[in-house]
């Protein structure tokens, strides 16, 4: 099992200049060898492989010294881009030919095997030096790669770790069905609901002010570049807030339940509705589900995705289909007389569709002590 650890870096001004120059070298290599691949196919009708280009990159010399394996990893990254391009061509999707990377569009480089080491609260990088690192927790497992990433004016080190042993699977004694939505971020089959913080919606006014100022700056000027970074910082704050919320919520779910059941939603198709797209992206259902899956895997627990067809229309008590629009928030069954919140009804139906283990599926309640009031956050 693979796991990632992300730590903040605090380079000096001199070290930051070296990091930026290293990114520029990597971007130059990426663009040059992308052009080589394109020209080889256009002129000779011949494709170049990643191995062919790795043998060529060692002959390039730069003023900024870059670790050899970092340069080789750039070409593996380019090779993956072409592999994905050909895969999309075969599957009949949008091809998306690999693009040249402009300035500030190439923001990471990777040490794939060696050339990095943490010692005395500093990250030692080959050809760069020792950079102060905020290691807020211990790294478990065997470190495989180290990626250095730039996010506006901040730098991070991301370690990919190979966990030596997979955790033993637990007996799924406690289960929960979860219906994701816009009014409530998640609705549990036991009746609990947690409202979405809607961080983007709350920051729209601030973002509009910064974007308006950006539109007034002269293109190519230093003031425009400074303002562009201010806009990026607002987006970064929104992204980090959403990330923090989903991390805490997914952790609370995994800690409380042995098995979690979500709908297998096609979010890419759902955001084609321009009336709901902004709200759907703001709640980030896909991110929450992915985080829950990764945490459950680490804990030896289960996450199951079920078919979302008619989960909101079907009565969780008798199975009768009760048609209702999005504006109708209460489920009322004319057959059995069941009346409850439509999202709770959907969550119970989602739980009833799961296939692993046993639980009291009729009401969707497990033997977990809840301890939280509806509408509050479980963290």
Determine which one of 192, 258, 263, 304 is catalytic. 263
Q: What token pair was written down for 330?
A: 């209460």
d(CA 168, CA 326): 42
Sign of the alpha-carbon torsion through 204, 209, 210, 216: positive
User: Is 179 labeled as catalytic in the residue annotation?
Assistant: yes
d(CA 68, CA 110): 11
Give the gyration radius of the chain's Cα atoms. Answer: 25
Determine which one of 73, 179, 282, 297 is catalytic. 179
Name, in order, each residue with C-beta under 8 angstroms of 325's C-beta and a sequence gap of 6 or more: none
User: Is 263 labeled as catalytic in the residue annotation?
Assistant: yes
Written in H, E and C, the secondary structure of the chain is CEEEEEEEEECCHHHHHHHHHHHHHHHHHHHHHHHHHHHHHHHHCCCCCHHHHHHHHCCCCCCCCCCHHHHHHHHHHHHHHHHHHHHHHHHCCCCCCCCCCCCCCCCEEEECCCCEEEECCEEEECCCEEEEEECCCCCCCEEEEEEEEEECCEEEEEEEEECCCCCCCCCCCCEEEEEECCCCCEEECCCCEECCCCHHHHHHHHHHHHHHHHHHCCCCCHHHHHHHHHHHHHHHHHHHHHHHHHHHHHHHHHHHCCEEEEECCCHHHHCCCCCCHHHHHHHCHHHHHHHHHHHHHHHCCEEEEECCCCCCCECCCCCCECCCCCCCCEEECCCCCCEEEHHHHHHHHHHHCCCCCCCCCCCCCCCCCCCCCCCCCCC
Name, in order, each residue with C-beta under 8 angstroms of 369's C-beta and a sequence gap of 6 or more: none
Determine which one of 258, 297, 304, 343 is catalytic. 343
Give me the active site residues, please: 179, 263, 343
């Amino acid at each position: 099992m693979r796991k990632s650890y992300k730590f903040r870096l605090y380079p000096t001004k001199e070290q930051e200049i070296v990091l930026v120059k290293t990114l520029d070298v990597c971007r130059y290599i990426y663009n040059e060898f992308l052009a080589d691949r394109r020209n080889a196919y256009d002129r000779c009708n011949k494709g170049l492989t990643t191995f062919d280009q790795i043998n060529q990159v060692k002959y390039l010399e730069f003023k900024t010294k870059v670790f050899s394996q970092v340069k080789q990893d750039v070409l593996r990254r380019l090779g993956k881009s072409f592999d994905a391009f050909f895969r999309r061509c075969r599957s009949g999707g949008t091809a998306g030919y690999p693009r040249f990377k402009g300035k500030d569009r190439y923001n990471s480089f990777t040490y794939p095997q060696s050339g990095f080491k943490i010692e005395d609260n500093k990250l030692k990088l080959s050809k760069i030096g020792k950079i102060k690192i905020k290691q807020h927790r211990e790294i478990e497992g065997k470190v495989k790669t180290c990626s250095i990433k730039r996010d506006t004016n901040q730098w991070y080190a991301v370690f990919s770790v190979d966990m030596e042993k997979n955790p033993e699977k637990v007996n799924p004694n406690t289960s929960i069905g979860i219906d994701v939505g816009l009014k409530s971020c998640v609705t549990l089959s036991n009746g609990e609901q947690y409202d979405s913080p809607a961080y983007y919606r709350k920051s729209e006014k601030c973002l509009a002010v910064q974007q308006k100022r950006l539109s007034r700056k002269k293109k190519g000027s230093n003031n425009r570049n400074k303002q562009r970074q201010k806009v990026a910082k607002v987006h970064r704050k929104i992204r980090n807030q959403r990330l923090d919320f989903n991390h805490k919520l997914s952790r609370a779910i995994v800690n409380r339940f042995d098995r979690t059941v979500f709908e297998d939603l096609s979010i890419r198709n759902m955001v084609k509705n321009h009336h709901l797209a902004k709200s759907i992206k703001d709640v980030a259902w896909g991110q929450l589900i992915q985080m829950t899956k990764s945490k459950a895997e680490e804990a030896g627990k289960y996450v199951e995705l079920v078919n979302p067809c008619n989960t909101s229309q079907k009565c969780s008590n008798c199975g009768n289909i009760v048609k209702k629009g999005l504006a109708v928030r209460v489920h009322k069954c004319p057959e059995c007389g069941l009346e409850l919140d439509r999202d709770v009804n959907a969550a119970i139906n989602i739980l009833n569709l799961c296939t692993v283990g046993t639980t009291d599926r009729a009401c969707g309640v497990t033997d977990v002590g809840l301890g939280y009031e509806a509408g509050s956050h479980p963290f």
